[in-house]
Chain A
Amino acid sequence: MEFALIAVPLFVAAVAASIPSNRTRPWLLPLAAVAHLSLTALLLMHPEMTAGSPWLKLDPLGRIILPMISVLFLLCSFYAVGVLHYRDTQLNRVFCVCLTGFLSVMSLVVLSQHLGLMWVAIETTTLVTAPLVYFNRTPQSIEATWKYLLIGSVGIALALLGTFFLAYSSLHQGIEPTLAIDDLLLNAPRLSKSWLHAAFVLLLVGYGTKMGLAPMHTWKPDAYGEAPGVVGAIFSGGVTSCAFLALLRVYHICEAAGEGAYISRLLLLMGFLSMTVAGLFMVGQRDFKRMLAYSSVEHMGILAIGLGIGGPALFGTLLHVVTNGLTKGVLFLSAGNIHRAYASKSIDQVHGAMRRLPFSGALFLAGFLAITGSPPFGPFISEFSILNGAFDAGRFATGGFFLLLLLVVFIGMGSTVLQVVQGRASTAVNFTPYREDILTTMPVVLLMACVLVLGLYIPSPLIAALNDAVHFLKGRP
């Protein structure tokens, strides 16, 4: 089963590479996505269908992230078909191959139970996504791709060094070194503390680069700004969640080793730094896609803070991975539509999106309200739950500062978003012939519906899975 989750998208990618028709090829994306989602659902409902491989296993953390990625990818894939039909003069072979390949690699990240294998998979996500950032072939997109590749590769190289340090921390204590997560958890209390600390710092910097935590976030505004909207959606919901999952695994090991207090300080520091940087750059941001990138930096900061608080905030943190991923989908996809209609992503040119694109404009606005934590949407519940966790843990200063930063972000992001959706388009703007159609709006509506549902009522299987994962993070096998 686990192998199929990785192999099926890979197979579709191979088919996509060999299909000559530029017009039918994009339909392979939804095909891969439907197959992937069905396999995921099957594996979730019948856990006994596992292949039993020690290296590939769907653990309680994966049970939360894999379905989210699968749903997000499914909706994005239909949207991608609409976008690629709209621009059918441009060859989309590389795009389709990389996007389906990307789904396969993301599944590998989620399923791998071996830190080395997981590292290889995360590094591969950098490589398969680089051509996606470069899709528009403008000098700006080359620049963005270059920064993404170089910063991403250096970050991930540091994560490899951290992984080696982690292995050495057991070798130093005379334990047979291993990178299998289960064995590391078992041996955790005996690991060499100083090597473990060093390993955590390197892994936090390495995977934090991939997540986009400040100050290693500098590739993010460029890459998200220049990549097509659908790529941004999968990046900010998929790649960042995968990198966060990697960090969660490392957190779990350190926690089991009894080093919770040490890593908690580092996580809180990085988290607040990210939120602050994001807040500062969001105020007065004139490019609405870059603004979304900073919003992603902010939410990675929220995840780091939630993890840093730990204990009572873990439930909200894990829920936030899901709500943030889906809401980012809404924002990037609707922003992509607006960008397409105006051929500009600067708020100097883009006004009155609500009139020009009734669906996308409204969805962009609703997505903004959701991501900034307004009720009744999903992120409200998860952010509130993290805040509650902070107060429960007696961290009143942390909670208060967190609230203050949320407010700054709300104001900064709000002024940009309102300028985009409200008012009338200035007469100087030349609209492109783009019209909203079912393929480019319906997936966004459905994503928004998911976000709304999560805010009103969290389905009981999800609650059970979240409680399972929290329990898993607190305990040892």
Chain B
Amino acid sequence: MDNYLNGILVIVLVLNLLSLGTSRINTIIKAVSAQGALLGIIPFVVHQHLTLPAVLVAVMAIALKGIVIPLIMVHALREAQIKREIEPMIGLLPSIILGAVATAFSLLFASQLPLASQHVGKLLVPTSIATVFTGFIILITRYKALTQVVGYLVLENGIYIFGMLLIESMPLIVELGALLDLFVGIFVICIITNHINQAFSSMDTRRLVTLKE
């Protein structure tokens, strides 16, 4: 089972780098939705005795992250009529390199962490840390409001991966609540991005600088 799990996690890591290395917002959204859907499969791989509610939650996670949220974002993207992240704060190649360094660091760091015996040899912890870092890199270095939302989604994915360590014991209602919050959050944020677009004729967050000291 561990091989399947680690295989999925390697793809997740590759998707991290892909989302750092493209300027087409559409591609980033697709990469992140693929990542979200893949993560939704993990419970079926790691958990031997899935109960019906657990299956339902996993299916909901796949549907939300893989289908619903990307659709909302693509819709917002079409409304805003933008395609590319122009001139991010640091170039695409440096972003990938930074992402790769973060991934290597996470692998090293995770090997130092005290882990429970059943989690040794799985890539869950390093992938989680690397994905959280990737989310932060996107959040900090990209200026388009919508790309920042994607960064937030990647960050959430990283946290979700860590949650997989606890899947045997976390009450489902909490996971459901977290998913629901994520969905509503993205929904609200997309509405706001639309308003930003209308009010400033751009989704560039560098225009949001009137409020400062």
Contact = CB atoms under 8 A, between A and B. Distances in A.
Do A and B pair up? The answer is yes
B201 to A, nearest CB: 11
A191 to B, nearest CB: 12
Contacts of B115: 172
Interface in B171-208: 171, 173-174, 177-178, 180-181, 184-185, 188-189, 192-193, 195-196, 199-200, 205, 208
Interface stretch (A20-28, A150-158, A365-373, A435-443): A150-158
B208 A123 contact: no
Given A120-B181, A140-B211, A221-B211, A168 B166 contact: yes
Interface stretch (B5-13, B37-45, B156-164): B156-164
A170 to B, nearest CB: 9
A139 B139 contact: no
Contact of B177 (A116, A154, A164, A167): A116
A127 B192 contact: no
Using C-beta atoms within 8 Å of the partner chain, give the interface range for chain B. 35 or more
Interface stretch (A42-50, A174-182, A260-268): A174-182
Given A117-B177, A123-B185, A192-B114, A167 B169 contact: yes
B213 A127 contact: no
Contact of B169 (A120, A134, A176): A176
Contacts, number: 122
A157 B165 contact: no
A177 B213 contact: no
Contact of A127 (B152, B155, B188, B210): B188
A353 B96 CA distance: 56
Contacts of B173: 116-117
A165 B163 CA distance: 9
A164 B211 contact: no
Interface stretch (A81-89, A141-149, A402-410): A141-149
Contacts of A124: 181, 184
Given A116-B171, A117-B173, A160-B159, A140 B152 contact: no
A171 B211 CA distance: 45
A123 B176 CA distance: 13
A147 B207 CA distance: 12
Given A123-B181, A124-B181, A157-B155, A139 B210 contact: yes
A232 interface: no
Using C-beta atoms within 8 Å of the partner chain, give the interface range for chain A. 35 or more
A192 B115 CA distance: 10
Contact of B166 (A134, A145, A177): A177
Interface string A178-195: 110000000000001011
A298 interface: no
B1 interface: no
Contact of A142 (B156, B171, B192): B192
A161 interface: yes
Given A116-B174, A177-B166, A172 B116 contact: yes
Interface of A: 114, 116-117, 119-120, 123-124, 126-127, 130-131, 134, 139-140, 142-147, 149-150, 153-154, 157, 160-161, 164-165, 167-168, 171-172, 174, 176-179, 192, 194-195, 221-222, 225-226, 281
Interface of B: 113-116, 132, 139, 145, 148, 152, 155-156, 158-159, 162-163, 165-166, 169-171, 173-174, 177-178, 180-181, 184-185, 188-189, 192-193, 195-196, 199-200, 205, 208-211, 213
